[in-house]
Amino acid sequence: DAKTTQPPSMDCAEGRAANLPCNHSTISGNEYVYWYRQIHSQGPQYIIHGLKNNETNEMASLIITEDRKSSTLILPHATLRDTAVYYCIVRSPGGGSNYKLTFGKGTLLTVNP
């Protein structure tokens, strides 16, 4: 699986959009970009994933650049409960030996009142 690079920490004001970047310059054609987050002392929570098109769900939007070498997770209206470590993960589609998630250290997003 391709390696990802994320800033170690970011701050965001409550109610504003939080934009979390991720670099994955060695991503392969069939690899998806996943985002998970982990609130202190809980298990990671799936947020969103995408291949090459931008994706949106009830939690967030995922913007993937045309060359797929980087992406941005957008939380449109951050709340204090969004304070967490956010992990960007690149992996091949599920099934067979493509089973594991390779976590880095992620980005600690702190939402301030």
Determine if 104 is a binding residue for another protein (CB under 8 A): yes
Q: Where are the beta strands (DSSP E) in the chain?
A: 9-13, 18-23, 32-38, 45-50, 55-56, 61-64, 70-75, 84-91, 107-112
Residue 40 Cβ, how far from another protein at the closest point, in Å? Answer: 11
In the set 2, 74, 103, 110, which binds another protein (CB under 8 A)?
A: 103
Q: For residue 87, report the phi and psi dihedrals to the nearest 5 degrees.
A: -110, 130
Q: Which is nearer to another protein, 56 or 102 (CB)?
A: 102
Q: What residue ranges bind another protein (CB under 8 A)? A: 32, 34, 41-46, 49, 87, 93-95, 97, 99-106
